[in-house]
Chain A
């Protein structure tokens, strides 16, 4: 079994239902996210549009975070999920430096690394990840990539524009996007400018460490 995700960006409307469901399900502390929906505005007024991209851990086949973790706190489980053992983690932030997608953060409450686990605990009880359940338009498609009859496999078969983030990194993500442009997937394709963010003056909880 190889579990994977696919987000159909034609369907996503940026409601952040998945983000909130994830926060609640996994008790993700303030100022940190396992799953974020990024908004990028494209064009010049009045010809503008807003794009939405849910971003989570890609559960890479060749995961740099797993490779660099000195104590195997990050590890594969048999269904292909890259899981984390927070009791084992020493908080070296090696994984934060290794993940090319910025998917790992240091949990300010436990001072250990954390990230999306595809809700491994729910899957163990035969439930879908919380974000999949919450999405009102079924933009999140989750399933077994090794089963050709699964929803996700069918979606991949039926769509031509199936993409992953940063394929050049050789991580082989198990997380796909349909309907994505460079603006959705490539952080260099958009600017981050002062004064444009809908979130302002964000207070990050203290992380320890020495930045």
Chain B
């Protein structure tokens, strides 16, 4: 391991200006966070339709509008993060299909189109049959729309920390975590106790699985790749990203898991709502830390 030679060589860079550190910053975090909620809500709507269609009443329009708004937040931040936002149309007219960015932009646009159609169908025609049919196809499309950001991270060859398939699993878990949390908050009293605990279980299990993956990477990630070890150094010990990392883990995963467990005993909706809010807020922090730390490592 070359790192261990440092004490002997005492090699210090004395002249070099590497790239400015963080290129994909909080706009990209917003992008990932909002998309997780947007597609996650669609997954939850679909599950609700399969499990308890009568409880869809009142949620078809509201949940779809919230998902649509979050998807537009995602698109807006994606656009705003471009250095040449007015050239966004190039993605549609000069598409390069090996790029997950291109494929994702196409799929996300179709997804938002389908969502608009579903909102129109409900608002102007109150046609639940067509809505429910469209929901199947929208859910199907929500899977690659959720996953494609993991594809981009995998294609970011320079950033060793972002591995496939780990990131793919984390993207899906982020969607089920934030989608179930949003559904719990939106559904409120409209949801039966049974449905609430169904979503509570999804929330708790998503938090548990995502937490296990992060901890596995935290503990074992450094054992195989020197670059990963150097990157994880930013979240180990002290420093702002170490603090943020643990705040994220506690707020997004550990506290919601505990609160969901307590809810199962006490049936307190307040506790479940708190778990849902914490999961949504914490997810932003978790995503941000994981996005930024690989960018702190000099590449040259």
**Interchain CB contact under 8 A, B10 and A64:** no
CA distance A91 to B95 in the complex (A): 15
Selected contact of A211 from candidates B20, B88, B90, B156, CB within 8 Å:
B20
Per-residue CB contact flags for chain B residues 281-300 toward chain A (1 = under 8 Å, else 0) read 00000000000000101111
Q: Could you list some 9 contacts between A and B, CB below 8 A?
A: A40-B13, A64-B156, A70-B102, A93-B81, A112-B83, A189-B6, A190-B6, A191-B12, A207-B20
**Interchain CB contact under 8 A, B9 and A90:** no
Which B residues are CB-close (under 8 A) to A71? 87, 90-91, 94-96, 102
**Interchain CB contact under 8 A, B157 and A100:** yes
Residue A208 interfacial (CB < 8 Å):
yes
Q: How many A-B Cβ pairs are below 8 Å?
A: 195
Taking chain A's interface residues, is the majority helix, strand, or loop, or is none over half, making it mixed?
loop
Per-residue CB contact flags for chain A residues 31-45 toward chain B (1 = under 8 Å, else 0) read 101001111111110
Residues of A whose CB lies within 8 Å of any CB of B are: 31, 33, 36-44, 50, 55, 64, 67-72, 88-94, 96-103, 105-106, 111-112, 169, 171, 182-183, 186-193, 196-199, 202, 204, 207-211
Q: Give residues of chain B (152-202) contacting chain A, Cβ–Cβ below 8 Å.
A: 152, 155-159
CA distance A198 to B17 in the complex (A): 10
Selected contact of A97 from candidates B84, B156, B298, B300, CB within 8 Å:
B156
Selected contact of B5 from candidates A39, A99, A182, CB within 8 Å:
A182
Per-residue CB contact flags for chain B residues 25-69 toward chain A (1 = under 8 Å, else 0) read 111000000000000000000000000000000000000000000
Residue B105 interfacial (CB < 8 Å):
yes
CA distance A193 to B11 in the complex (A): 10
Number of interface residues of B (CB under 8 A): 56
**Interchain CB contact under 8 A, B5 and A189:** yes
**How far apart are A115's CB and chain B's nearest CB, in angstroms?**
11
| Closest Cβ neighbor of A44 among chain B residues | B10
Selected contact of B9 from candidates A31, A42, A98, A101, CB within 8 Å:
A42
**Interchain CB contact under 8 A, B22 and A98:** no
Selected contact of A94 from candidates B17, B152, B226, CB within 8 Å:
B152
On whether A190 and B96 interact (CB within 8 A), knowing A94-B101, A111-B83, the answer reads: no
| Closest Cβ neighbor of B22 among chain A residues | A211
| Closest Cβ neighbor of B6 among chain A residues | A191
CA distance A67 to B299 in the complex (A): 19
Selected contact of B155 from candidates A41, A94, A189, A209, CB within 8 Å:
A94
CA distance A44 to B12 in the complex (A): 10
Residue B18 interfacial (CB < 8 Å):
yes
**How far apart are B34's CB and chain A's nearest CB, in angstroms?**
15
**Interchain CB contact under 8 A, A70 and B84:** no
Identify 6 new A-B residue pairs, CB closer than 8 A, beyond the known A204-B20, A209-B25.
A36-B16, A42-B9, A68-B155, A92-B82, A189-B9, A209-B81
